[in-house]
Amino acid sequence: MILTDKAKEDFKEWVFENYYFQDLNVLYPLHLIDTLIIEFFDSVGIYIEIHYSRILGDKFLCIVNTEANYNLTSYQDSRQQATEQAIKKANDLYNSRYENV
């Protein structure tokens, strides 16, 4: 799983509260985990966007927004790569909220 630390703990709790999955491993082969992670981050005010751009040479832009800031994370060759990079950035933002708590 891409998530770490507090984000991983809170994500698992969120999934169990909002869905009927008892074992997250069931989601991995179905590639549903990214969708749930993005929905989790939406619920805590961290928004992930993936945009395709021909102008930038057929690249996918991954953007992570919060109410406080806007982060263009990177340009990637595929939607999956862009999604993974955006989730990693959102994970870092989420965990940084709890570093000194």
Residues 25-83 pLDDT 10s: 666 665 688 999 999 999 999 999 999 998 888 999 989 998 887 777 788 999 999 99
Considering only CA atoms, which of 81, 91, 36, 45 is closest in space to residue 66?
A: 45
Q: 5-96 has which CATH code?
A: 3.30.160
Q: Classify residue 23 by burial, with Cβ atoms within 10 Å: 0-12, 13-18, 19+.
A: exposed
Residue identified by tokens 């340009």 is: 75
Give residue 44's pLDDT.
95
Question: Rounded to two decimals, what is the model's pTM?
Answer: 0.81
Domains in the chain: boundaries: 5-96
At residue 72, the 3 state secondary structure works out as strand
Distance (Å, whole) CA 1 – CA 4 = 8
